[in-house]
Structure 1
Amino acid sequence: MAAPPVDLKSITFAYGAGELRRAVLRDVDLTIAPGEIVLLTGPSGSGKTTLLTLIGALRAMQDGTARVLGQELSGASEAERVRLRRRIGFIFQNHNLLGFLTARQNVAMAMELDGGLNETQRLKRAGEMLEAVGLADHAEKPPSQLSGGQRQRVAVARALAGDPGLILADEPTAALDKVSGQEVVHLLRDLAKGRGVPILLVTHDPRILDIADRIVAMEDGRIVSGAQEATVGGEAA
């Protein structure tokens, strides 16, 4: 059986030091199976975003073990974490598109570190991804000429353009209306499922719970429900 893309054991993390030290994660265990879509829910301050940034190698580990896409993050160097980040697609509440670039150029940027593709190939691939998210007619527009939902679609295309092994999304629907939000997450689900890419999505949005294979709830830095892998097709994922 293939190793899970995400396998966390006893993850503990705190901010500050001494009297100012504040624990935000406490003995978190979490495994995500290939192709699984996991929603991470819970009140503000429960540790969801901190956990996401640790999995995404955006922060250095403190205690516990975390194996992500085959890379052990406990004790990993900055160079090792940078290499892992290149294999992960990130989507955030604020789409983080560059305003001076077109939609196509924003998506192509995600592939610039791939030495196997030249600029022409990157732009072609970016155009294909924009077509996949329904924005073929908007490829040459800057973000200022796109709606909020369209900008998030560009962010989805950018996250998937480099064929990542994992998608991490932090409140991707928070700034969108109900219709746009559901369109974006269902599109993300369909594209990721088609490629067998697992998704971990932090959300407060009850409107999108139907996309999940599993819902994991956090409270006070701990997982309080949903820690076990989902069952797919009668077998544990």
Structure 2
Amino acid sequence: MNSIEIDYTLPAPVCMRACFTVRGFTTLLGRSGVGKTSLLRALAGLLPGQGTPWGGLAPERRPIGYLPQHTLLFPHLSVLENTAYALRRPERLTQARALLDGLGLAPLAARRPDELSGGQAKRVALARALAHGAKLLLLDEPSAGLDTMTRDATLDWLANIAATRGIPVLAATHDHDVAARADQVALLAEGRIIQHGPARAVFSAPASRVAAELLGYDNIFERGGALWAAHAGAIRLDPAGAYFRVRAVRETGTGLRLICGPDPCLTVELPQGRAADYPPGAQIRLSLTGAVRLG
């Protein structure tokens, strides 16, 4: 699997130093405003930044395909013509058609952008980015505006591109569910990459409170002099567990969601049961064995 080492320093609009590896389908996970888009734009040569790779090269000389949140397809051109736009050779339409066919987009070739769904438009924009021989794809919030089913299909498609074509993909997102579908994850906070590595390793062992919050852990608490984190579904009823008092309960589409306390205050998801079985004030016993120690 091809990889690219990133080491970039940005003075503005967000001051940062980002060092990590893009390998396969990699997500850059961070809160809104932390500088994810700025880093992508700097890598593409559209913002001032110093580092490797391609630091100092003009944007048009960088072998990068950059897809902002809006696909920016030309509305008066067909999918085929949009894909071929970056090509200058006489056989460009033939090459574009072959690319669309290889990406499973051939049936869309004659359509105009206003005839495409959101997911289709993103895929066509990616095809156009691939057409000029990009060695790195930069995607800003690739799941924005997509429903869950389309989002998942688009992310699977991206992962397949990275795997079969050997082109590293870096996708910026604030959504930990999107990040969880990647091969690699880099967490951006406090002007730097605070943790990175294979997605499974990062999600199962956050290194800090900030990392756990970014990764979607519902509960972060102190116990036994250490800091711990746990997903709501990892805390279970246990006759031998510690006593907690139910503060609030709500039925959801997948079960029950309880707020328990007093120390620590925990959010618990139960796959079954009725809200009436856990009235506020009731005592229950919970196991915290599903929690992970931070740091």
Spell out, residue by residue over 1:100-144, the C-alpha distance to the aligned partner (whole angstroms, 9 max, x if none). 0000000001223xxxx21xx211121122223333222111111
Spell out, residue by residue over 1:158-212, the C-alpha distance to the aligned partner (whole angstroms, 9 max, x if none). 1222221111000111111111111112112212221211111101233333432
Spell out, residue by residue over 1:137-156, the C-alpha distance to the aligned partner (whole angstroms, 9 max, x if none). 22111111111111111112
Amino acid at match of 2:120: Q
- Structure-2 change in CA distance of 1:100 and 1:51 (3 Å): same
Question: Which has more radius of gyration?
Answer: 2
Amino acid at match of 2:136: L
Distance 1:125 1:206 in 2: 36
Q: CA deviation at 1:49?
A: 0.9
Residue of structure 1 aligned with 2:147, choices 146, 171, 177: 177
Amino acid at match of 1:91: L
Deviation above 6 Å: which 4+ runs of structure 1?
none
Amino acid at match of 2:16: R
Does structure 1 residue 67 correspond to structure 2 residue 52?
yes
Residue of structure 1 aligned with 2:109, choices 136, 139, 161: 139
Distance 2:155 2:144 in 1: 11
Name the residue aligned to 2:128: 158
Distance 2:166 2:152 in 1: 21
8 Å contact 2:6–2:18 — kept in the other structure? no
Equivalent runs, 1:1-237 vs 2, <5 Å: 5-8=4-7, 11-15=9-13, 24-33=14-23, 36-61=24-49, 65-68=50-53, 71=54, 73=55, 76=56, 80-85=57-62, 87-112=63-88, 117-118=89-90, 121-226=91-196
Q: CA deviation at 1:91?
A: 1.9
Unpaired segments ≥5 residues, structure 2: 201-295
8 Å contact 1:46–1:222 — kept in the other structure? no
* Counterpart secondary structure, 2:74: coil
8 Å contact 2:10–2:48 — kept in the other structure? no
Identical residues among aligned pairs (%): 34
8 Å contact 2:184–2:198 — kept in the other structure? yes
Distance 2:169 2:179 in 1: 13
Higher strand share: 2
Spell out, residue by residue over 1:58-113, the C-alpha distance to the aligned partner (whole angstroms, 9 max, x if none). 1122xxx4112xx3x1xx2xxx323433x11122221110000000000001223x
Unpaired segments ≥5 residues, structure 1: 16-23, 232-237
- Structure-2 change in CA distance of 1:198 and 1:178 (3 Å): same
Distance 1:170 1:159 in 2: 13
CA RMSD in angstroms, aligned pairs only: 2.3
Distance 1:230 1:151 in 2: 27
